[in-house]
Structure 1
Amino acid sequence: MTEYVVNTLGAMQGGAVATLGAQSASSAVQASTGSNELFECMDLVITYLSLGKVGPIRASAVVTQVSSDWGTARVEIRDSGSENRLMAIVAATAVRVQSSPSTDGSL
């Protein structure tokens, strides 16, 4: 881990853990739709279980529900350098982002 993601306890910052979970969920949902369009996390519930101090930190996502416009995923984040210790569990919802600007003037 780099100094940019380590907190004063010598562990990965909680915000970095949450970002990893959100990105992992969004990528998994996007991949399961077969779409080339971007999916972004719109809702995230994270349960922190232990500190990640050794690294590398790894995330694995399982899509639990999917449609063409949105999906949900469960992500496990583990410290693989510390006997694969489970650091956090994430439940997230990702939605498809509009791929091109609207032509009718709406946002």
Structure 2
Amino acid sequence: MNSENKFILNFNKLNVNQKILLPIIAITNLIIFKTHFLHILLCLEVLTLRILLYLSFFITLFNTPVPLLRVIILTLGACEARLGLTLLVIIVRLYGNDIIKNISLRKC
């Protein structure tokens, strides 16, 4: 049994509540705590990784041979993280911190 099948078996052992609760927590954090740009980036990254996990689960469950799709989703997640960190560095250099409330469009 390879490591991917062990991972899927461990994912199947999770409660339905645990499978549903993590994306809901990430979305709730994204809505409520939107003061810092870094916190928003972390919530988006959790959602991206969760989508990859669900995608891997359903691909294995239905025995569809689409291994390239996982790589594409993971690549898009890495590009999202790179773009977000680039924006974070630009914002911190311009404004001195990453607090969203201090950013105004007039300074741009």
TM-score (norm 2): 0.31
Q: Quick check: which one's helix share is greater? A: 2
Bigger share in strand: 1
Quick check: which has more Rg, 1 or 2?
A: 2
Instruction: With the length of structure 1 as denominator, give the TM-score of the two structures.
Output: 0.31
